[in-house]
Amino acid sequence: MILSMNVDGKAYRTVWTDSESPSFSVKIIDQKKLPFFFEVKELLSVSDVIRAIADMHVRGAGCIGVTAAYGMWLAAKESRGDSIQLESLADALMNSRPTATNLSWAVQRQLCALINADPADWTKIALKEAELISDEDANWCRSIGDNGKELLFDIAKNKSDDKVVNILTHCNAGWLAFSDWGSATSPIYAAHRDGLPIHVWVDETRPLNQGSRLTAWELGQEGVPHTVIADNVGGHLMNIGKVDIVITGTDRTTRYGDVANKIGTYLKALAAHDNGIPFYVALPSSTFDWIASEGGLEIPIEERNEDEVRKIEGLSDAGELIDIDLAESCVSYANYAFDVTPSRLVTGLITERGVCDASEKGVMELFPDKKQLCSG
């Protein structure tokens, strides 16, 4: 296993296990504590994994999928050879968050590996499959970086003045959102390591501020120049020529190129389209929903607790993480976690197999082997 992303000089994956330990446990970087505290959290049961996903101690499409894959390793142990119990635990994992397709993809893949195997071998098979899913996720994301960095170098070649390439990104589609490298950040990391001068505009990404708290922290660890901005600044920056390209991640993308991602992505795509700025979405193939219809309007959009909008978390003068009220509790709040950006606003998709148009034709030319999945 090759580790590429570092925290204070030490290489990490976002999710892992100590396979030589006598205890069955999954370890995660607790993303709710970042950037103020770097803590490793231990998950000892399927219930622990479900809570970690639902409460966003882990988040991001790939990371959720990998965590769920390791959760199925714990499920294999807890079910004690009972296939009905195994499927029940699998259903509970898949229902922990509704929008990210990597979650169900990873759980279903584990079920397929286990259901016809000897129950005595379930834990061994599930651990091997989880480690394979984690490695694939990291390798796919690294390939996304290799494919996507060429877009950034092409922009630099065509700039007549400042050679610094200005990228705007939304939410966190970095290595914290996958097992390593990330999707939207992978081209940034690859180009930066190859010496291209770049600068990243980081949307704060309300209400949970995954941009200012996670993406900015990641970029800082990697030494990438960046500036955190309020969510509504992006359109202005595009309008005055300070954004060369927008790259986001996605939690679920149809084969037609429609993109479900963090709430606010649609507005960034509209602004980019109006200003003639390329808008790319980076994703591994595990994030495609091969059977969703064109437009993606049936993709389930998670609605989270209104307190995430009403309150904000930060570090107190005493060095403690605290919540403070932003407004009165008597006010009504809505907290939609995702929106869908139609393919017509997406310049292209950056995948592990290459860059393609955000269209059924473009996607299926890259992934002809997935054609049998498109009928469900």
- 251 part of the active site: yes
Beta strands in 103-197 (DSSP E): 165-169
What residues contact 16, with CB distance under 8 A and at least 6 apart? 26, 27, 134
Beta strands in 255-356 (DSSP E): 259-262, 279-282, 288-289, 311-315, 321-325, 338-341, 348-351, 354-356
**Cβ 288 vs Cβ 101: under 8 Å:** yes
**Angstrom distance (rounded) from CA 304 to CA 313:** 16
CA distances from 74 to 27, 68, 80 (A): 12, 10, 10
**Angstrom distance (rounded) from CA 194 to CA 43:** 37
**Cβ 165 vs Cβ 199: under 8 Å:** yes
DSSP string, 28-84: EE-TTTTTT---EEEE-SHHHHHHHHHTTSS-SHHHHHHHHHHHHHHHHHHTTT-HH
Q: Looking at 203, 251, 258, 289, which residue is catalytic? A: 251
Secondary structure element (H or E) that encloses residue 188, with its range: helix 186-193
CA distances from 234 to 210, 257, 275, 285, 340 (A): 16, 23, 11, 28, 18
- Compute the 3-state secondary structure of the chain and give helix, strand, coil in percent, each to the nearest 5: 40, 20, 40
**Cβ 205 vs Cβ 211: under 8 Å:** yes
Secondary structure element (H or E) that encloses residue 270, with its range: helix 265-274
| Pairing state between β 348-351 and 354-356 | antiparallel
**Cβ 211 vs Cβ 301: under 8 Å:** no
Catalytic center residues: 251
